[in-house]
A and B are shown apart, each in its own frame.
Chain A
Amino acid sequence: MLVRAIGLARSYAGPAGRAVTALAGADLEAKGGEFLAVIGASGSGKSTLLNLLGLLERPDAGEIWFDDRRVSHLSRRAQARVRGRDIGYVFQSFLLISGLTALENVLLAARYVGGDRASATREALSLMERLGVADRRGHYPAQLSGGEQQRVAYCRAVLNRPPLVLADEPTGSLDDVHAGVILRELKGCVRERGASVILVTHRADAAAEADRVVRLEGGRLQPA
């Protein structure tokens, strides 16, 4: 899937009511089967960019296109459908739901897109097996290590085989071994399924795994 962002702008209310600009006309293009890394200093707007691309919030200005669909301007309901079917998220803080087991967290991705629950469970268990967390399926997030939580979160992100995977500092709180596992999996998504992966990271070794690296600076993207 071709992902295009055109002139994305987003600012937030800062202290004393002053607007803080996160993005000021950012343009981006990621082709299907491309692993793109976005780097930049802390507070440069990397996470905001990913939130906008993932339709987790609306831009102040600009457009986002998935192939020939202008998804940035869809209704809330239609955007929810796009999020469920076309986008997988991997967050730095995992964002697992504490009241659900590891398996239930993974299956959450399938709950809102319809489809057969039994086959989703089979797929989820197969993914968890590959990532080495199948034996932790009945455990709650608080009973899992950080590495295990991130692997569960990854399983949830790719369960529906989304054509776009957005990863926001997925290795930020992991040791090198577990970070390597996640990065390998993300590359596997690109190679085996032709998904577009956009990785936000401040780790040079993670960015080095990408096909292309762009830098976010002053609210705009430029080649690194």
Chain B
Amino acid sequence: MSLVSALFPRGYVFTVLGIAVGVAGLVALGAMAERISRFIEGGDRFVLGQISVAGEGMGMGAGFTAGGLLRAAKIAEIARVPGVAGVQAQVMLPLKTTTSQFLTLTQELVLGMDLGVPTPNRNYRELPVRSGRFLAPGDRGVAVVGADFAASHRLSVGGRLEVAGLEYSVIGVLDKTLTAPDRFAILPIEDARALWLRRDPLLVQLIGSSAGLARSDLNSGAAVAWRTGEDPDALARRIQADVAGVNVTIPSELSRTLRESTAFFSALLLGVGALGLVIGGLSLSNTVTAAVFERIRDFGIKRALGATDWHLLKEVLAEALGVSLWGGAAGIGLAVAIGSIVDARAVKSGQQVFLFSPRLIGFALVFSVILGALAAGYATVRIAHLSPAEAIRRGS
């Protein structure tokens, strides 16, 4: 049998379709698990890339820097702590105030960044820009939006973003990061402060009053970068000890907390992945085994013509390879098609349900080929125990 005829076996349309259904189930469930997993991984990378500091107290309760106001003087104090490489003042506000008390990982946020300081997060030095450009020092009245944010608000470069009666010109749209920034609208910090004041009139009264609050004090938090070689956890504890009146998150503790809070999702995706393996695996192996058993008569004829067990095993494995590859590819195509249709609807609300990563596609193909070969090998060994006459009798 030539390689070509092995890779394009005839008469296997329904087998290929059967495998495709199994693999599609595996890939679709895997893509959902992959999506959740990537989101959690991204969040973890983010919190491990910087030390987040907020003012003491409850404050806005938004984003990663929940806490009270972090005044400019405190930021200057933090910057003087040995080991600190830079401190970037930030304002993080919920886009919709109605949901501000229900902070979730998928909440849409407005992030104001002090562009005079290099991005401190070691794991996100630069956010990938899909179109337009990122913010630059001196920018005002502009915004860069995450991919999901852009999709849900139908924004593109040149578009206008309106929040609480204030308008921002969209100058950039980020590439998908599959984590929090996808749902961010990023503004220069002065614009974010203006938005904050618009939303919280009490703050307006405090600015310039006896409270001594200045506009530069309007920071919901700060991201701290550490010098190379510095232990971020140790530095976070040093900041907490040296600077009074701040809430400092210890990166590893925050990572642990994040993982604990997403433990349900981790368990869910493990279950989804396992379910996908079982359903896809059973469907695939059952289809291949049935296809081999259906050909029991052909095997009997071939053995009558001199085929040894090894000849048959080689033929069946070659065909199983072809059928599994085609079935696997068709299943992946089917899952991607279904996922694309679902995601096309989900993206309108800024969601992405599936992530068809290369590792998932590769795994699905390897899985289908290995399982197909094992199932075919098992069926062949079962048939090989029959005499040629018995195989012909049973298959006729």
Q: Is B302 an interface residue (CB 8 A)?
A: yes
- With contacts A97-B298, A99-B10 known, is A58 near B387, CB below 8 A? yes
Q: Which residues from B are CB-within-8-Å of A113?
A: 306
List residues of A (104-141) whose CB comes within 8 Å of B's CBs.
108-109, 111-113
The residue on B at minimum CB distance from A97 is B298
User: A57-B390, A80-B308, A112-B307 are contacts. A97–B396 as well, Cβ < 8 Å?
Assistant: no
Cβ contact within 8 Å between B309 and A76: yes
Contact A84-B306, Cβ < 8 Å, known A57-B387, A57-B389, A95-B392: yes
A56 within 8 A of B: yes
A44 CB-CB contact with B under 8 Å: no
Which residues of chain B from 362 to 396 have any CB-CB distance to chain A below 8 Å in the complex? 387-390, 392, 396
Nearest Cβ distance between residue B365 and chain A, in whole angstroms? Answer: 25
Q: Which 5 A-B pairs have the closest CB atoms?
A: A84-B306, A112-B306, A56-B389, A57-B387, A57-B389
Q: Does A93 have its Cβ within 8 Å of any Cβ on chain B?
A: yes
Q: Are A108 and B305 in contact (CB under 8 A)?
A: yes
CA–CA, A95 to B304, complex, Å? Answer: 10
Q: Are B11 and A98 in contact (CB under 8 A)?
A: yes
A77 within 8 A of B: yes
B304 with A83: CB separation less than 8 A: yes
B residues 277-319 touching A (CB-CB < 8 Å):
297-298, 301-311
Q: Which of A51, A80, A93 sits near B306, CB closer than 8 Å?
A: A80
**Smallest CB-CB separation from B11: which chain A residue?**
A99
Which residues in A have their C-beta under 8 angstroms from that of B307?
A: 80, 84, 111-112
A-B contact pairs, 22 of them (CB 8 A): A54-B304, A56-B304, A56-B387, A56-B388, A56-B389, A57-B387, A57-B388, A57-B390, A76-B308, A77-B308, A81-B306, A83-B303, A83-B304, A83-B306, A85-B306, A89-B304, A95-B304, A97-B301, A99-B298, A108-B305, A111-B305, A112-B311
- Whether A83 lies near B305 (C-beta < 8 A) is yes
| Chain A hits for B303, CB < 8 A | 80, 83
B305 proximity list for chain A (CB < 8 A)? 83-84, 89, 108-109, 111-112, 156
Q: Which residue of chain B lies nearest to A80 when distances are taken between CB atoms in the complex?
A: B308
- Chain A interface size, as a band, is 20 to 34
- Supposing A57-B389, A76-B309 touch, asked if A93 and B396 sit within 8 A by C-beta, the answer is yes
Contact A77-B306, Cβ < 8 Å, known A57-B390, A93-B396: no
B: contact size bracket: 20 to 34
Question: Which residues of A31-71 have CB atoms within 8 Å of chain B's CB atoms?
Answer: 51, 54, 56-58
Tell me the B18-67 residues at the A interface (CB within 8 Å): none
Chain B residues within 8 Å of A156, by CB = 305
Specify which of B1, B306, B307, B387 lies most central, judged by the most chain A CB atoms within 10 Å of its CB.
B306
Chain B residues closer than 8 Å to A58, beta-carbon distance: 387
In whole angstroms, how far apart are the Cα atoms of A76 and B310 in the complex? Answer: 11
CB distance from A64 to the nearest CB of B (A): 14
Task: Give the complex CA separation of A113 and B306 in angstroms.
Answer: 7
A104 to B353, CA, bound (A): 49
Name the CB-closest residue of A to B388. A56
Q: How far is the CA of A58 from the CA of B385 in the complex (A)?
A: 12
Q: Which residues of B contact A77 (CB under 8 A)?
A: 308-310
A98 to B305, CA, bound (A): 16
What are the residues of chain A within 8 A of B306 when measuring CB–CB?
80-81, 83-85, 109, 112-113
Nearest residue (CB) in A for B299 is: A97
Measured CB to CB, the nearest residue on chain A to B9 is A99
Partner of A112, one of B302, B388, B396: B302
Give B295 Cβ to nearest chain A Cβ, in Å. 9
Chain B contacts of A97 at CB under 8 A? Answer: 298, 301-302
Residue of A with least CB distance to B386: A57
How many angstroms from the CA of A56 to the CA of B302 in the assembled complex? Answer: 11
Q: Which residue of B lies closest to A81 (CB)?
A: B306
Within 8 Å CB of A56, what residues of B? 304, 387-389, 392
Give the chain A neighbours of B298 by CB distance below 8 A: 97, 99
Q: Which of A51, A93, A98, A112 contacts B389 (CB 8 A)?
A: A51
Q: A95-B304, A97-B302 are in contact. List 12 more A-B contacts (CB 8 A).
A: A56-B389, A80-B309, A83-B303, A83-B304, A95-B301, A95-B392, A99-B11, A99-B298, A108-B301, A112-B305, A112-B308, A156-B305
Identify the closest chain B residue to A48 (Cβ).
B389
Across the interface, name the chain B residue whose C-beta is closest to A96: B301
Most chain A beta carbons < 10 A, residue from B1, B297, B305: B305
